[in-house]
Structure 1
């Protein structure tokens, strides 16, 4: 019974070391919460600065994850398609080992900007039916 707390402490220290130190653990706790402190091998980085990790000791659906480059405003549309396939285990090889085939008809990946200040807002060419009152 006395060895169990020591094993948990050793696991905690190993996780803090693998996560990049105490400062990175504090940063992840403030952004993601306590359930998201994970340690794994860095597999690659995409063009947007997102980092992709893998740890095969975790359960199958949770063994690959992403550390977004943006601090607060991140969502799933910031993951390029080739990394999306790897994250969801559609392929075993990450895009760093097997680069995707370049096709003429494919466009570059662009994140979804709906609901942000960079979204497209069309302007009206018709006159308003109700005029706002100005004193």
Structure 2
């Protein structure tokens, strides 16, 4: 089915560009969304996962910007490289003591007091 989706997008849309992950971005030639704007689409290079769309293209895809932001723009020191959502994978972050991280929960210091209503 993905093959047919890709074929239909190529026949009915104009290619706008691609990102460093290999995803390609398209704008429909005739179809419009509910607001009268041309449909914007993405064909994923690998598994169709929305979190693989980098921020430079996310804004364009969701009609926040008219053009995609330049990928070669200088990056600030606080900006990190885009990573796909790792939830559900072996690379997912797990806090200390998480069962899947094979850790033991650190003991509490004993200064915790549970809240009781009406006090």
Normalization by structure 2: what TM-score? 0.63
Cα distance in 2 for residues equivalent to 1:57 and 1:100:
32
How many residues are matched?
94
| Equivalent position to 1:115, from 88, 107, 111 | 88
Cα distance in 2 for residues equivalent to 1:41 and 1:86:
15
| Aligned residue number for residue 47 of structure 1 | 20
Q: Which has the higher helix share?
A: 1
Would the alpha carbon gap of residues 43 and 90 (structure 1) be closer, same or farther in structure 2, given more than 3 Å must change?
same
Unaligned 5+ segments in structure 2 are 94-99, 106-119
| Aligned residue number for residue 130 of structure 1 | none
Q: Which has the higher strand share?
A: 2
RMSD over aligned CA atoms reads 2.8
Normalization by structure 1: what TM-score? 0.56
Cα distance in 2 for residues equivalent to 1:93 and 1:123:
46
Residues 1:78 and 2:66 aligned together: no
SS at 2:101's partner residue? coil
Unaligned 5+ segments in structure 1 are 1-25, 127-135
